Copies of this chain bind each other. A is one copy, B any other.
Amino acid sequence: MSDTKYDVLAIGNAIVDIIAKCDDVFLAEQDIAKGGMTLIDMARAEQLYSDMGPAVETSGGSAGNTAAGIASFGGKVAYIGKVADDHLGKVFTHDIKAIGVDYNTPPLDHGEMTARSMILVTPDGERSMNTYLGACGKLSAKDIDPEMVTQSKITYFEGYLWDPAEAKDAIREAARIAHENDRLVAMTLSDAFCVDRYRDEFLELMRSGTVDICFANDGELKSLYQTSDINSAIDAVREDCNLTVVTMGADGSMIVTREKTGTVDAQPIDELVDTTGAGDLYAAGFLFGLTDGRELGECAVLGSIAASEVIQHIGPRPQVSLKELAEQLGL
| A-to-B contact residues, CB < 8 Å | 20-21, 49-50, 52-59, 68, 86-88, 91, 94-96, 98-99, 313-315, 317, 319
Contacts and interface: CB of A to CB of B under 8 A. Distances in A.
Contacts of A96: 54
Contacts of A91: 55, 57
Contacts of A98: 20, 52-55
Given A86-B87, A313-B314, A314-B313, A57 B57 contact: yes
A51 to B, nearest CB: 9
Nearest to A318: B54
Given A87-B86, A87-B87, A319-B21, A95 B55 contact: yes
Main secondary structure of the interface of A (DSSP, over half): mixed
A49 B88 contact: no
Given A56-B57, A88-B87, A94 B319 contact: no
Give the top 8 A-B pairs by smallest Cβ distance, nearest first.
A87-B87, A57-B57, A54-B95, A56-B58, A54-B98, A54-B99, A53-B98, A56-B56
Contacts of A50: 94
A54 B317 contact: yes
A20 B59 CA distance: 12
Given A55-B94, A57-B57, A57-B91, 17 more contacts: A20-B98, A50-B94, A52-B98, A53-B98, A54-B95, A54-B96, A54-B99, A54-B317, A55-B91, A55-B95, A55-B98, A56-B57, A57-B58, A86-B87, A87-B88, A313-B313, A314-B319
Contacts of A20: 98
Contacts of A58: 55-57
A309 B99 CA distance: 28
A83 to B, nearest CB: 14
A286 to B, nearest CB: 21
30 contacts: A20-B98, A21-B319, A49-B94, A50-B94, A52-B98, A53-B98, A53-B99, A54-B59, A54-B68, A54-B94, A54-B95, A54-B96, A54-B98, A54-B317, A55-B91, A55-B94, A55-B95, A55-B98, A56-B56, A56-B58, A56-B315, A57-B57, A57-B58, A86-B87, A87-B87, A87-B88, A313-B313, A313-B314, A314-B314, A314-B319
